[in-house]
């Protein structure tokens, strides 16, 4: 069956959304603002309702006040108009639910009684309770055979725990109704990567080891762990960011063209990439992977504490807040092309970008001093300003310049190229796709498991070596060793745009 990615088929988005973890960080920071914008832009049919579910004693009015407060912090004041807010709040109900007992689910069953719309169950709670909630939803008679479930990352802590969680979800929901979120897949530029690669013959023909020398992916965050010590210290940056977001980016860059835009056609190709990722063995582990942990430092002129001084911290922790690595997709398209990945918390700026470095011309005829300039780069900026730039070489202008080369960008800045369109947050797009019942932006079970399989061998190697993470001051680009890792190949991390 061919999957059509229709632009905006609003009539098909009518659902009842049951939101577990309705007072949690994710719901307040991301989900209500996203739902509000969808509503404001006319993308929520009038019948769509939202039921917030959490353990705290709230009534609907108090819940609506809490959501309003969250919206005020996250939505631009000029976008938060009275009429849109009123319409949005009217969709919201709240029920206190004891998640662990079947009887606790009666409010959901009652809310759904006779409703013709499909139900979307969003689990904004720890993954350890996904299974219990799914089972209790089923046992309480709250589900029908159209209900969909949305689950957040990370699913589990390793391959084994993720299999247990996926089994428990799969006992209740078939894969075709499971939506595993990786919010990076909802980012505008990430989707543009699919368009760029597969709609432009210019890139399609060059996208392989004959023409590309190496690929860099940087996902740098300015924030620290944001009060999430309990979660983060168990996870670390590899599980929190690499296992999901960075590997999904690797997949989208490295995958072969899918036969069509069908969800499974795309996901089949992504899985092949995950299976082809080279494991780190022997000395490669010490040479090609760098773990770091931030110490106190300064960001934007403000002093910030080190990881071990964060609220709730354990002074012995060896959890990494930074990881850089050189890896390879070992297949015909990519053999011998290093993929340099790095991600860390408390970096000098928030910067997520992919840089594709093309090979130099086979024969060089310009000034030998300028030889290092002589390669094109494609820079795909995910955030903060979404855009794509192609670094090309032209002749420097002026009578005195001879044939001096000048590198310059052919630049597509989405905000100025498409000034009328607001760039939606990733969660807006993802929620809309769930409501439409389209899965192409969600992660299939085997993708999660192959990603864990690859991360598990890396973590096992780290544990066997027992080396603590290298320290780096907050506000720096990570341990010096991560710079040495790439310079030893005669390259450097690209930080311009």
Residue 153 makes contact with ligand NDP by CB under 6 A: yes
Binding site annotation covers 98?
yes
Q: Which does 349 bind (CB under 5 to 8 A by kind): ligand NDP, ligand LXAUTJHC, none?
A: none
Q: Residue 69 class from Cβ within 10 Å (0-12 exposed, 13-18 middle, 19+ buried)?
A: exposed
Q: Which of 23, 120, 196, 329 binds ligand NDP (CB under 6 A)?
A: 23
Q: Which of 13, 15, 21, 189 binds ligand NDP (CB under 6 A)?
A: 21
Q: Which does 483 bind (CB under 5 to 8 A by kind): ligand LXAUTJHC, ligand NDP, none?
A: none
Q: Which of 5, 10, 26, 375 binds ligand NDP (CB under 6 A)?
A: 26
Which candidate, 131, 120, 121, places its Cα nearest to that of 171?
A: 131
Binding site annotation covers 183?
yes
The residues, any chain, with a CB within 8 Å of residue 363's CB and separated by 6 or more, are: none
Q: Which does 54 bind (CB under 5 to 8 A by kind): ligand NDP, ligand LXAUTJHC, none?
A: ligand NDP
Residue 240 makes contact with ligand LXAUTJHC by CB under 6 A: yes
Rg over CA atoms, the chain? 24
Q: Closest approach of Cβ 126 to ligand NDP, in Å?
A: 5
Q: Around Cβ 21, how many Cβ atoms within 10 Å?
A: 23
- The separation between CA 204 and the C-alpha centre of its own chain, rounded to angstroms, equals 24
Window 92-111: residues binding ligand NDP (CB under 6 A):
99
- The separation between CA 148 and the C-alpha centre of its own chain, rounded to angstroms, equals 21
Residue 227 makes contact with ligand NDP by CB under 6 A: no
**Do the Cβ atoms of 85 and 71 come closer than 8 Å?**
yes
* Active site amino acids: 245
Residue 126 makes contact with ligand NDP by CB under 6 A: yes
Q: Closest approach of Cβ 225 to ligand LXAUTJHC, in Å?
A: 7
Residue 428 CA: distances (Å) to CA of 36, 215, 422: 9, 29, 12
Q: Residue 52 class from Cβ within 10 Å (0-12 exposed, 13-18 middle, 19+ buried)?
A: buried
Residue 424 CA: distances (Å) to CA of 15, 75, 428, 432: 21, 12, 6, 11
Q: Kindly tell me which of 129 and 193 has the beta carbon lying closer to ligand NDP.
A: 129
Q: Around Cβ 491, how many Cβ atoms within 10 Å?
A: 16
Q: Closest approach of Cβ 410 to ligand NDP, in Å?
A: 34
Q: Which of 5, 14, 45, 55 binds ligand NDP (CB under 6 A)?
A: 55
**Do the Cβ atoms of 133 and 122 come closer than 8 Å?**
no
Q: Where are the beta strands (DSSP E) in 155-194?
A: 178-180
Binding site annotation covers 345?
yes
The distance in angstroms from the start CA to the end CA of the chain is: 41
Q: What is the DSSP-derived secondary structure letter of residue 65?
A: H
Question: What does the alpha-carbon distance between residue 163 and residue 166 come to, in Å, rounded to a whole number?
Answer: 5
Q: Closest approach of Cβ 55 to ligand LXAUTJHC, in Å?
A: 22
Q: Kindly tell me which of 183 and 445 has the beta carbon lying closer to ligand LXAUTJHC.
A: 183
Q: Kindly tell me which of 66 and 183 has the beta carbon lying closer to ligand LXAUTJHC.
A: 183
Residue 310 makes contact with ligand LXAUTJHC by CB under 6 A: no
Which candidate, 56, 59, 41, 172, places its Cα nearest to that of 119?
A: 172
Q: Kindly tell me which of 225 and 329 has the beta carbon lying closer to ligand LXAUTJHC.
A: 225
Q: Kindly tell me which of 221 and 386 has the beta carbon lying closer to ligand NDP.
A: 221
Numbered residues of the known binding site for substrate? 183, 187, 221, 240, 345, 350
Numbered residues of the known binding site? 55, 98-99, 153, 183, 187, 221, 240, 345, 350
The contact set with ligand LXAUTJHC (CB under 6 A) reads 183, 221, 223, 240, 352
């Amino acid at each position: 069956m061919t999957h059509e990615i229709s632009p905006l088929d609003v009539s098909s988005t009518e659902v009842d959304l049951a939101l577990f973890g309705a007072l949690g960080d994710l719901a307040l920071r991301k989900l209500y603002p996203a739902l509000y914008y969808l509503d404001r832009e006319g993308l929520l049919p009038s019948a769509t309702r939202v039921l917030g579910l959490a353990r705290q004693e709230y009534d609907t009015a108090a819940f609506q006040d809490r959501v309003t407060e969250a919206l005020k912090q996250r939505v631009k004041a000029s976008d938060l108009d009275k009429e849109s807010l009123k319409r949005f709040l009217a969709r919201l109900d709240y029920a206190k639910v004891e998640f662990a007992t079947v009887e606790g689910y009666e409010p959901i069953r009652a809310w759904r009684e006779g409703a013709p719309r499909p139900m979307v169950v969003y689990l904004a709670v720890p993954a350890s309770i996904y299974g219990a909630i799914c089972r209790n939803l089923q046992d309480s008679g709250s589900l029908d055979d159209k209900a969909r479930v949305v689950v957040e990352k990370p699913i589990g802590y390793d391959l084994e725990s993720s299999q247990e969680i996926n089994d428990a979800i799969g006992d209740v929901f078939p894969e075709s109704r499971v939506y595993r979120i990786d919010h990076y897949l909802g980012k505008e530029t990430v989707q543009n990567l699919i368009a760029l690669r597969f709609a432009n013959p210019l890139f399609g023909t060059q996208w392989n080891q004959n023409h590309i020398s190496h690929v860099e992916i940087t996902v740098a965050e300015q924030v620290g762990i944001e009060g999430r010590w309990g979660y983060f210290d168990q996870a670390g940056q590899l599980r929190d960011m690499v296992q999901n977001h960075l590997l999904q980016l690797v997949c989208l860059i490295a995958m072969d063209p899918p036969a069509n835009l069908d969800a499974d056609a795309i996901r089949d190709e992504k899985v092949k990439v995950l299976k082809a990722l080279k494991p780190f063995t022997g000395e490669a582990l010490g040479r090609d992977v760098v773990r770091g942990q931030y110490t106190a430092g300064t960001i934007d002129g403000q002093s910030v504490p080190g990881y071990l001084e964060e609220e709730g911290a354990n002074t012995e922790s060896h959890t990494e807040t930074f990881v850089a690595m050189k890896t390879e997709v070992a297949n015909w398209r990519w053999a011998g092309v290093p993929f340099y990945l790095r991600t860390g918390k408390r970096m000098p700026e928030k910067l997520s970008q992919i840089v594709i470095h093309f090979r130099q011309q086979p024969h060089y005829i310009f000034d030998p001093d300028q030889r290092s300039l002589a390669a094109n780069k494609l820079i795909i900026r995910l955030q903060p300003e979404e855009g794509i730039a192609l670094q090309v070489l032209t002749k420097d202008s002026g009578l005195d310049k001879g044939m001096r080369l000048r590198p310059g960008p052919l630049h597509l800045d989405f905000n100025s190229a498409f000034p009328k369109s607001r760039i939606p947050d990733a969660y807006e797009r993802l929620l809309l796709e769930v409501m439409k019942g389209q899965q192409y932006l969600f992660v299939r079970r085997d993708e999660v498991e192959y990603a864990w399989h690859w991360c598990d061998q890396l973590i096992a190697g780290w544990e066997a070596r027992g080396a603590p993470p290298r320290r780096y001051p907050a506000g720096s680009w990570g341990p010096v060793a991560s710079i040495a890792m790439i310079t030893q190949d005669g390259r450097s991390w690209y930080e311009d745009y």
